[in-house]
Amino acid sequence: MSDLSTAIGPLRLKNPVMAASSEATMTEEGILACLDAGAGAVVAKSVNESPAAARQLLIADYALLAPGGDRVGWPDRCGDETLLCRSGLAARDGWLAMLERTSRHARALGAHVIGSITVAEPGPAAEIAREMAGVVPAVEMNVGAPHGREASAVRQVTGAEVVEHYTRTVRAAIDVPLIVKLPAQTDSPLELAAAARRAGADVVAMIGRFNGFWPDPLTSEPVLGSWGAVGGPGMLPVSLYWVSKTFAADRSVPLIGTNGARSGADVARFLLSGARAVELASAVLLRGPGVLAECVEDLADTLTAGGYERAADAVGVAVDRSRSYAEIPPREQPARPWEA
């Protein structure tokens, strides 16, 4: 059995499997279930200062798309579907007390509950972070929510200077570790990661989901009746690309991978790409919190089969083995595998 312990900056985790912020972590029961399933950490559903962000949850909707593209009902899901959704944020009434209770439960299990803010404005984000820092051991600030392109209650920040400003403002308000969660919908996620670090982020989480649109070819109606945010197994290589490039650019940045992991093997893929922990949301929504226990077990088996005694030893190994295009020796003839 591999030693699964890891660290994201100053925060030690018993294993790298984290429940990401989502509707699965929006209630006390949901957070406790993820903790009891054995997650190393659980990121609570995000809040922010805008009542409109919480109201937006009333227009939230969630569509599953099978690999062929057809929409499938939730009772018929197999767990591998792409998830297209609209989402809002949690209401803040009683939120801190709930974070404090679940955080106590987490401590008893050697795990952590992390408070989360999906930003609107930087000042209020700092104030909410300061309150959270009194009851949880770390705060995650999401500056990349795709819904920010569709509604003003949350913001999607895509410029390095603005990421720096948000990070600096929130950093100054708290003395617990700060995780900054970034979008990939920007010219350079690498620059955003560097900006977040410059401004004092202890940890960078990447990459956020993308915006999506999916018309039904028989009815001509857009699924969900609107644009939305999308994620699924097909996003994993894209997420691994940005994590591995960020790792290659600066190995000192503690990275959390997110977007596309559905299994322990996928968590291992994130570690090999340079992440030190992995946040899963869709898998928990589709399969329930028990998927986190499966991931932990599957990760241990996968690492052992891959020859690793410690999860930490796997971090970034595939990046070290990856070559630039210029380093690939040319063949005598171009490859044409589709003719075989």
**Which chain residues interact with ligand FMN by CB under 6 A?**
20-23, 45-46, 83, 85, 87, 89, 116, 118, 142, 181, 209, 231, 258-261, 279-283
Instruction: Considering the complex, state which of residue 38 and residue 260 has its C-beta at the smaller distance from ligand FMN.
Output: 260
Paired strand residues for 205: 181, 256
Q: Which residue has the tokens 């410059």?
A: 198
Strands of 105-240, DSSP E? 112-118, 139-142, 178-181, 203-206, 210-212, 228-231
d(CA 214, CA 222): 6
Instruction: Considering the complex, state which of residue 2 and residue 118 has its C-beta at the smaller distance from ligand FMN.
Output: 118
d(CA 218, CA 300): 45
Q: How far is the CB of 128 from ligand FMN (least distance, A)?
A: 13
Q: How far is the CB of 251 from ligand FMN (least distance, A)?
A: 23
Instruction: Considering the complex, state which of residue 54 and residue 313 has its C-beta at the smaller distance from ligand FMN.
Output: 54
Instruction: Considering the complex, state which of residue 280 and residue 303 has its C-beta at the smaller distance from ligand FMN.
Output: 280
Contact by Cβ (8 Å): 176, 182: no
Q: How many CB atoms lie within 10 A of CB 235?
A: 20
Question: CA-based angle 215:221:224, to the nearest 5?
Answer: 80
Q: How far is the CB of 118 from ligand FMN (least distance, A)?
A: 5
Question: CA-based angle 53:55:60, to the nearest 5?
Answer: 90
Contact by Cβ (8 Å): 129, 167: no
Instruction: Considering the complex, state which of residue 179 and residue 321 has its C-beta at the smaller distance from ligand FMN.
Output: 179
Strand 61-65 versus strand 82-86 pairing type: antiparallel
Q: How far is the CB of 337 from ligand FMN (least distance, A)?
A: 29
Q: Give the end-to-end CA distance of the chain in Å, rounded to a whole number.
A: 41
Q: How far is the CB of 163 from ligand FMN (least distance, A)?
A: 15
The two three-digit tokens of residue 85, written as one number: 């959704």
Instruction: Considering the complex, state which of residue 119 and residue 173 has its C-beta at the smaller distance from ligand FMN.
Output: 119
Question: How long, in residues, is the chain?
Answer: 340
Q: How many CB atoms lie within 10 A of CB 237?
A: 11
Q: How far is the CB of 232 from ligand FMN (least distance, A)?
A: 7
Instruction: Considering the complex, state which of residue 57 and residue 317 has its C-beta at the smaller distance from ligand FMN.
Output: 57
Instruction: Considering the complex, state which of residue 139 and residue 190 has its C-beta at the smaller distance from ligand FMN.
Output: 139
Q: How far is the CB of 311 from ligand FMN (least distance, A)?
A: 19
Question: CA-based angle 294:279:10, to the nearest 5?
Answer: 115
d(CA 157, CA 162): 7
Q: How far is the CB of 11 from ligand FMN (least distance, A)?
A: 17
Q: How far is the CB of 320 from ligand FMN (least distance, A)?
A: 25
Contact by Cβ (8 Å): 6, 49: no
In 3D space, the residue among 138, 133, 114, 137 whose CA is nearest the CA of residue 19 turns out to be: 114
Instruction: Considering the complex, state which of residue 3 and residue 27 has its C-beta at the smaller distance from ligand FMN.
Output: 27
